[in-house]
Structure 1
Amino acid sequence: MKRINAIYARQSVDRADSISIESQIEFCKYELKGDVFREYKDKGYSGKNTVRPQLQQLLTDIRRGEVEKVIVYKLDRISRSILDFSNMMELFQQYQVEFVSSTEKFDTSTPMGRAMLNICIVFAQLERETIQKRVSDAYYSRSQKGFRMGGKPPYGYRLEEIIMEGIHTKKLVEEPQEAEIVREIFAMYEQPYTSYGDITRYYAEKGVQFYGKELIRPMLAQLLRNPVYVRADMDVYRFFKSHGTNIASRPEQFDGVHGCYLYQGRDAATDKLQNLKGHMLVVAPHEGLVSSEQWLNCRIKLFSNKTIQANRKAVNTWLAGKVKCGHCGYALMSVKIQSGKQYLRCTKRLNNKACPGCGKIYTEEVENYVYREMVRKLRDAQTPVGYTKLKENPKIQQIYRELEEIEDEISLLVDSLTGAGATLTNYINQRVEELDNTRQKKLEEINILAENHTTPEQIEKVVSNISLWEEIGFDEKRFTVDKMITLLKVLPGSIQIQWKF
């Protein structure tokens, strides 16, 4: 079988100062002097790693023995990583594939040519890391000056284009009807005995929607914590200073008029709205909606708020966290009645009566049913097989590769902000927000996979627990349910179980 010539071209971002894929191919065709070739093109992919569809196809074709020569416009089109490039060179040598860079004139058949290639790839990687550092510095530099760094406006505001320091950007402008609701929320929550549930029920009954959805507790908690709404003065300055927040603005800029942006700190691993230490606060160009006294009263009340506790220890039933309402999907809570019995109630119905609920279903009856089904499941399925080490999970490995690509694209986008016009700035800000949301979802996927991962040793423990069910404690029952069941959906007269195997 006659082997082919292959031309590989890559372009990460379509910009005026980057060479197009079509131009790269034209340069490479000159090296072939009219010989036939096959094209491999990756558009929109970084050279940081090898997770590119057409590059992977090229490597597959090389392993099949179909490729004689690989031609690229420039070395960094195929890789910017020393390790990846070294591995590719070994593959090329193994299958006797010649490698040609049309602009750098490398000959991989000689030791000197290979040495020069390795030197060049070192500088290609250095260039990539330098670009990433410059992108990061540019992002934080713009943040510190009060530039809005993308995303949809907080409830109560709309966006308006402005020019700051000669650069097109946007600032927040009060949206009167929504702003009045925000002020009402802060006024309500400032009262000592007002809870999240009181506020969510109030707006559900009035039919008020937030971003087109019903107000829920996590959304309300985020709104109350956000310093974008406060008319920041020196009390606000001192509050954040006392919590270890890095304050980019000068004290005199806290004038009691303007709101603030709170940005994720470079080295901070915690959620910026939950733990303020290490994050960055900057006075923004927009005007706040509520007084510093009212905002601080609410913020301080939030520190002692115990109504949202995702990791709160279960007490009433070992099904807690697994059992959901079949109508709305909200969690079911085990509630005690005067007789001492417990029954399951939909938390959405408890909050604002917005769900019909599941009727009067006794907790003990559901627990007994679930136990019988777990016994049957283990009897029929024996023990689950096919468990792998978590780090070897191909799904997790793929997510990490996708996260690398997201980080790479964000870096390139932020780098493009400097000097950008209004249209481009708007696009970049929106795209960065989309990518950041995707990144958070990917991280949540990894956490879920890690939580759901089950080892053979744990399966042995599950089997043992089922056989000793009446003798084991509450926590052991919780452990068993967690390893066997993903979700329980309860409706009047029916229970649906989603198994993990």
Structure 2
Amino acid sequence: MRVAIYVRVSTQEQAKEGFSIPGQLESLRAFCKSQSWDIVEEYKEEGRSAKDLDRPKMQEMMRDIKKNKIDLVLVYKLDRLTRSVLDLYQLLNYFDEYEVKFRSATEVYDTTTAMGRLFITLVAALAQWERENLAERVKFGIHQMIDEGKRPGGHSPYGYKFKKNFDCEIIEEEAKWVIKIFEWYADGFGYRKISDRLNELNIKPRIAEKWNHNTVYGMLRNDIYIGVYRWGDKVIYNNHPAIVSNSLFVKVQKKLKSNHKNLARKGKFPLTGILQCGHCSEPMSGIFDARDKKTYYRCFGCNRSTDGKKITNLLLDEIEKLITSKDYFLSQVDKNYQPLTVNIDEIRKKLEKINQQKEKWYSLFLDEEDNPIPKETLYKKINELNQAEDDLKTILQEAEIDEETPEEKFEKLKNIKNIHLVYDEADAFEQKELLHAIFEELLLYRDKGRNKPITLKYKLN
């Protein structure tokens, strides 16, 4: 009997007694010896979750099974192999296809009978429920911490030093370079040029040895520098002191968007330039896989790849619904896409507060008899408020730049007939022009792993 041993630990479990890699290996080797089995390979999966099959050693083992190198797969416990019911079914069918048996050293399973399959499926379902329930509790706990003013953790971004909870101080020496990075980009420098310049000036980043263009790009998109704190879908405005002015941040975002669209027009993939990862907001790039002759869109931020055909079909179905029902179109336009950085109501409140403050300072400025404050001080305060007001008005103008009503947008789209046929008959350039004419931005959401459902949120042009 040619046996493959599969052992796994996730990051959280590495410290748990009995689940360490050496502990599992010792037990499984002894089990094989007692059964007079030959161990042909040991697959050691370190620091990997069992929520999907996208694991290096798992994929290696499946390739070896296909090459007929293995007769039996042995694990310490079922949850070392998988915690997903769907993945378990896929694995069992895969094992059956290549006549490979499965065995757990600490649990009794017989996958050759219907009852045995039912039992193993129930155990896997409980393992999946436990994992998903734990994830929900962790997410709820983090949101609760944020609501109570406690910071979940993580290192402080360049320019800041977060202390206990959300108390933080600006590191002036780093903050001046943060501002420089934003100013350089606004003045026309690219990410690589900025990172090269920082390295030439011997400016040290927070963690890495040298600056690279990806770090610069991430900083330019990060609204933490205007006082916004994000954790998943939790957003807190005015959470901490800003390093970059609102007007400079908006100017940079506009330039990023413009540059990205200009680059996207040169590409051959229809969704490049408008498709972003909904999990990390990074742009997704088109990739053609010559092996299966398919196009995939990949987010290099969180390493998710999705079949381009699936995205396009979902998108065309959505367009079909949008152009055939005005009620549906109007119901989706406002709720389907959430802006990434700007809270218009918050900006208006700030403008109202600034106007109230200006009125008070103007009153003191005009009252020459009872005013103990020097004119120079009053003049400086009023100028500061005027500058803050200008910054906020710039942001408000950018946020409200789209003056076209939802009804007008629907009238433009409703004339398109049989969108699937139109799209299929178009060439790659025409397909891209069509999608870019309808959508300004697309956000794609999908869990890691094969055959996971995808959802899209969008903003119409």
Q: How high is the TM-score relative to the length of structure 1?
A: 0.43
Question: Which structure's relative contact order is higher, taking Cα pairs within 8 Å and 6+ residues apart?
Answer: 1
